[in-house]
Amino acid sequence: MFALARGLSRSCDGVTRRDVIRIGSLATLGLTLPDFLRARARAAGAGPDISCILLWLQGGISHIDSFDPKPEAPSEIRGEFGVIDTNVAGIKVCDTLPKLAQHQDKYTILRSLNPRNGSHGVADAYMLSGHMFNPSITYPSFGAVVSKEKGDRHGMPPYVQLGTAIDQRFGGGVAGYLGDQYNPFVLPGDASNPNFSVRDVSLPGGVDRVRFQHRMKVLATVDTWQSEMESGASTLEAADTFYQKAYSLITAPQAKKAFDIGREDPRIRDRYGRHSLGQGCLLARRLIESGVRFVSVTDGGWDTHANNFPALRNGLLPRLDSAVSALLQDLSDRGLLETTMVVTLSDFGRTPKINPSAGRDHWASAGIALLAGGGFKPGAAIGQTNALGEQPTETPYYTEDLAATLYHRLGISLDTMYQTPDGRPVPINYDGRLIRELI
């Protein structure tokens, strides 16, 4: 099965590449875990073996009240928080982030991000795929592309999602036209819950554990009949191989060990923070160590239309501060930071002017992203917004640019083309520029 595709090539300066004709292929889209594993069995793609932990702050973090403070702005813009120096000269953040201020040398702030969107749901799809929302097609998320291109490692699923704080109305975080076999394994539970365990892993398509085991018994019955009636290889034997791998994935000791966060030193758990985001980040590190390639850690509650400052001061920012600072230090201590990207994204920024409810509303033209590890240049603040935090004033970057840079570091060619079920060739990235200051 051949697909006629158009390749797009670009330089670091963002020059659109010449069109070329390429021939690719697309496996038949499946809907089951065995199909997922079958697709994984092909050779992993070329390029550096970089993993990724992506923190998704659903709702839209206030850039002014976190990593792009405006201490000289009028009070209705500046807000209630002060600023503090980081451990990198010249870079300041809000005083509600003291731990991350002392780890600035491990990450870079992208302050010139223009999300070009102010709508929930659409943001989840756009920011997590690098493709503007299109009602006629659901684009695959970064994790799904990694799943397809890189395959499994050490028998662990390539793409895992922790928590359910992703708006999927428009396909946020999913595999889209690539097919359900590239969707994430979703752990819907709260990793800070004492009862959290590997049993919280969701089997695809809503299949519960009892149904899965029943299917295994049915398969065994069919195999017994087949072995009595036929000799030699068959498609059923091939299917059996992947069903056995699927069953092993759910029940294997290494998987149970990776998901068993209770094995961690209590002091390390305390450092991350005994809350869902902190323990989610700790679990993400364990999964990366065990072979998972891409982990999305989701965290909700960032849509602060009212009481913005108490919500940020008393919960949202402290948990982000402890979770990300501990994750960066932990990865560094274990020698994993150079091979693990840590990317923090959110829907968009929030209005520079505080509203009558002491909150900030959606803001489509300015936001922030944090990037660390995976070969990214640390200890910088890229770009800036104007004095009121309204829009970037130098080197604006867009979601497509961020996507191109992530794929570049993951070793996935920007020339990669896929085919939708209706035969349409689609590149993984449209005209994104590499963010050169990060590389």
pTM for the full predicted model? 0.82
Alpha helical stretches, state H, 305-422: 308-311, 317-333, 399-410
pLDDT at 195: 82
Q: Between 175 and 32, where is the model more confident?
A: 175
Instruction: Reply yes or no on whether the pLDDT at 59 is more than 70.
Output: yes
Whether the per-residue pLDDT at 216 is higher than 70: the answer is: no
Q: 338 vs 23, which has greater pLDDT? A: 338
Instruction: Look at 1-15, 224-238, 289-303, 356-370 and tell me which has the smallest mean pLDDT.
Output: 1-15
Structure confidence at residue 423 (pLDDT): 92
Return the percent helix, strand and coil in the chain, to nearest 5. 35, 20, 45
Residues 6+ apart with CB under 8 A from 244: none
Q: Which percentage of the chain shows pLDDT scores above 70?
A: 76
Q: Which one, of 209, 163, 331, 194, lies nearest residue 261 by Cα?
A: 194
Provide the total of helices (H) and of strands (E) in the chain, helices listed first: 13, 18
Fold of 3-28+36-197+258-438: Alkaline Phosphatase, subunit A (3.40.720)
More confident site: 240 or 115:
115
Given a cut of 90, whether residue 24 has pLDDT beyond it is no
Supply the pLDDT for residue 46: 44
Lowest mean pLDDT across 226-240, 344-358, 367-381 = 226-240
Cross-strand bridge partners of residue 94: 83
pLDDT of residue 334: 97
Mean pLDDT of the chain: 84
Span of 73-77, 160-164, 218-222, 391-395 with lowest mean pLDDT: 218-222
List pLDDT tens digits, range 225-264. Answer: 444 444 444 344 434 434 554 555 566 677 778 888 999 9
pLDDT of residue 246: 54
209: pLDDT strictly greater than 80: no
Positive or negative, the CA dihedral 394, 305, 403, 299 is positive
Contact 412, 146 (CB under 8 A): yes
